[in-house]
Amino acid sequence: MQKIHPMLWFDGQAHEAAELYTSIFPNSKIGRITRYGPAGPLAEGTVMTVDFELDGQPFVALNGGPDFTFNESISFVVPCESQDEVDRYWESLVDGGEPAPCGWLKDRFGVSWQIVPTALETMLTDADKARAQRVNEAMLQVFGKFDIAELEAAFRGDTVGAAR
């Protein structure tokens, strides 16, 4: 069992969020669901926590009420090997949410995600500083989903990359 795992605080949407996330990521499942008893703080029978796994990574979703909300200071990075993978995760998670710069998005629950091609890190750390800088400049122009072909073109020097 993993010693450290994220707990996400929701205002009534813990089970809905766990169902969405487990439907998107492979090797994912919902585990134990606990409910509030008569001591509250939410109504008796209300879902309190949902244990779930995303591709084997354990998470807990808590219905804690409206006291706390998500912000961009914490995000989940989803490394993607292909444009199809970028597209699939992006479209599934941004639905009902909002795009943000550099491959980031907020899902409909306010959770921040980074949908990032694995090739991006390789290009950004290339020994040829000019190529790495072109990719960095192209990356910083992106609003929304990454287009791997545009990043590769910037890497080769074909274009500077286009903002989305």
Q: What is the pTM of this model?
A: 0.91
Residue 79: its H or E element? strand 75-80
Q: What per-residue confidence (pLDDT) applies to 159?
A: 58
pLDDT of residue 1: 61
Query: Is the predicted pLDDT of residue 162 greater than 50, yes or no?
Result: no
Instruction: List the one residue out of 111, 120, 112 whose CA is nearest residue 17.
Output: 111
What is the mean pLDDT of the segment spanning 125-132? 97
The Cα-based distances of 68 to 10, 12, 36, 77, 140 in angstroms read 8, 12, 19, 22, 30
At residue 163 the predicted structure's pLDDT band, cuts being 50, 70 and 90, is very low
The terminus-to-terminus CA distance of the chain in angstroms comes to: 41
3-state class (DSSP) for residue 134:
helix
* pLDDT tens per residue, range 4-30: 999 999 999 999 999 999 999 999 999
Q: What is the pLDDT of residues 77-122, one digit of tens each?
A: 999 999 999 999 999 999 999 999 999 999 999 999 999 999 999 9
Tokens representing residue 33 in the block: 């669901």
